[in-house]
Amino acid sequence: DWTTGNVIEEQIARIKAQIGDGRVICALSGGVDSAVAGALVQRAVGDQLTCVFVDHGLLRAGEAEQVEQDFVAATGVKLVVVDAVQRFADALDGVSDPEQKRKIIGREFIRVFEQAARDVVAQVAAEDPGAGHEVKFLVQGTLYPDVVESGGGTGAATIKSHHNVGGLPDDLAFELVEPLRALFKDEVRAVGLQLGLPEAMVYRQPFPGPGLAIRIVGAVTPERLEILRAADAIARAELTAAGLDRDIWQCPVVLLADVRSVGVQGDGRTYGHPIVLRPVSSEDAMTADWTRLPYDVLQKISTRITNEVPEVNRVVLDVTSKPPGTIEWE
Ligand code: XMP
């Protein structure tokens, strides 16, 4: 019978059988799936696992720390952090086109992860010369719906977006370890809780791989990322305080970086940027309705953002369903 405890025991046994005394690597994205998959593998084989977190500088406030501190504290995982913030900033410099942003981020992610994987392989070889403990395995947080979507074939790595590491060169060919293959999202969350992962991580709403880069309409700059991060943190804090996290599928917060409007703040006229709130209700993100948030919550978010983020002088609400609007603005 299905209990979270049984699932964990069963997966740990399978992982041990698959990996033996081999070494394994796992890319953490900050999302639920890779975190739970990594935590399960850690339970099974301990220090034979190395996790890699590529910090591309496009996560929201506190999310990198969540991985680097909270996740590590909760699991004891051996973590390598790659600071790629400047590299991604350079690669995205001057780029406004959404698909171009996605391509660049996907390409850079593969390159950075590839190098990190090579470093881990070399490190393991140096620690354990001749012991035959080479890094042969790669953890993927593939869920059951992903398996179904890709035709259900075994061992086929589905490459849906950049944080699924596809396209690695032949000499970095890993055998996949996919401990979540039989699970649905709510089951993954239950496993994550049972493994003691931080609740903020376990209940994180969907967040796109390209991160805040596709929530800045216009070119991505460090200053614009700062503005958006500040506004987003306020919106998230107020939605959480109002107890609305479980009612909302996700709420992209978008910076219209190339738009300015006139405002009056403090002592004088301002010429600032609008922030868009895009709260949506959905079952699977294929279709969505805009969420009827309480006016007092909207009011609080608007007041706080315009008071606390000086570059923003207007907060607007997106009242478009999907279709015709997508959930993200880019
Ligand atoms: P849209 O905007 O297409 O979004 O209605 C549907 C869901 O997918 C997420 N999304 C992405 N996730 N890489 C991702 O990993 C992407 O490029 C991407 N674009 C959109 C979006 O947040 C929503 O949950």
Enumerate residues 6+ apart whose C-beta is below 8 A from 154: none
Ligand 1 atom nearest the C-alpha of 282 is: 24
pLDDT at 160: 35
The protein residue with its alpha carbon nearest to ligand 1, atom 18, reads 208
User: Which parts of the chain sit beneath pLDDT 70?
Assistant: 131-132, 150-167
321 lines ligand 1 (CB under 6 A): no
Token code pair at residue 277: 């709130």
pLDDT at 246: 87
Tell whether 150 is in a known binding site.
Answer: no
d(CA 286, CA 15): 33
Chain segment 142-156, per-residue pLDDT in tens = 999 888 876 654 433
Across 83-106, b (16+ Cβ under 10 Å) vs e yields ebbebbbebbeebeeeeebbebbb
pLDDT at 166: 55
| CA–centroid distance, residue 231 to ligand 1 (Å) | 20
Chain segment 112-143, per-residue pLDDT in tens = 999 999 999 899 888 877 766 788 999 999 99
User: Which stretch of DSSP H or E encloses residue 216?
Assistant: strand 216-217
102 lines ligand 1 (CB under 6 A): yes
pLDDT at 167: 64
Per-domain residue ranges for the chain?
Answer: 4-202, 211-317
Predicted TM-score of the model (pTM): 0.92
Report which residue type is found at 136: K
Cα 215-200-70 angle, rounded to 5 deg: 105
pLDDT at 265: 84
Nearest C-alpha neighbor of 230 from the set 244, 242, 215, 219: 215
User: Which stretch of DSSP H or E encloses residue 52?
Assistant: strand 49-55
Q: Which CATH number fits domain 211-317: 3.40.980.10, 3.40.50.2300, 3.30.300.10, 1.20.1270.10?
A: 3.30.300.10
Residue 248 CA to its chain's centroid (Å): 17
pLDDT at 169: 78
Tell whether 70 is in a known binding site.
Answer: no
194 lines ligand 1 (CB under 6 A): no
CATH number of the domain located at residue range(s) 4-202 in this protein? 3.40.50.620
